[in-house]
Amino acid sequence: MRRANLKLKASLFIAPLFTATAALAVASYSELAAAEPAHQAGNFGVGIVGGIPDVGLSLNYFTTEHTSLQINPVLILGDDGGIGGRIDYLFWPSSIARGDALDLVWFFGPGGRFFVGDNGFAVGAELPVGLGLAFNDIPLDINLEAVPALHVLDDRGVEPSLSLGGVFNARYYF
């Protein structure tokens, strides 16, 4: 019964998420031609994130041109289903390569994660490291992250363990 409720909750979460992302993209399509690059202080990005085994919303706010706060509320799919999230303070030191249409960028930063589901809860720290494409003519970035994590606390107590995950995200900036 709990699995059925979780799968229902999952479908209630995913459908509005993708609908809202599509609506934002369509509503802002006419502004794309005059848009500024995504990675500027004060820009707020909204998009999607997917990894193994989670999917969700990706939010990123550039506090300066080279730092941002990333928040990813996610839905954990599979046998260990539940909800969770990640909060990271990212550093974007420089571009690896620059082009007329886009820049190849890299980033890293400390963060935290949590998970609550059918099999209990977990809390930990993480250090995402990634590569991204930052478009110059449209306020969009697409990123791939490797996310090493230290799980510190779960419903059984303090039981440190390491893991390595990966995620893909795409965000449109306002």
Contacts of residue 10, defined as CB under 8 A and 6 or more positions apart, other chains included, come to 75, 77, 81
What are the tens digits of pLDDT across the range 117-150?
A: 988 899 999 999 999 999 999 999 999 999 999 9
Comparison of pLDDT for 34 and 149, the residue scoring more: 149
Assess contact for 38 and 136: CB atoms under 8 A.
no
What are the tens digits of pLDDT across the range 57-90?
A: 999 999 999 999 999 999 988 877 899 999 999 9
CATH classification of the domain holding 13:
2.40.160
For residue 149, give its domain range: 2-173
**Rounded CA gap, 46 and 21, in Å?**
8
pLDDT at position 52: 76
Contacts of residue 99, defined as CB under 8 A and 6 or more positions apart, other chains included, come to 136
Domains of the chain: total: 1
Amino acid, single-letter form, for residue 49: V
Helix (H, G, I), strand (E, B) or coil at 38: coil
Assess contact for 47 and 38: CB atoms under 8 A.
no
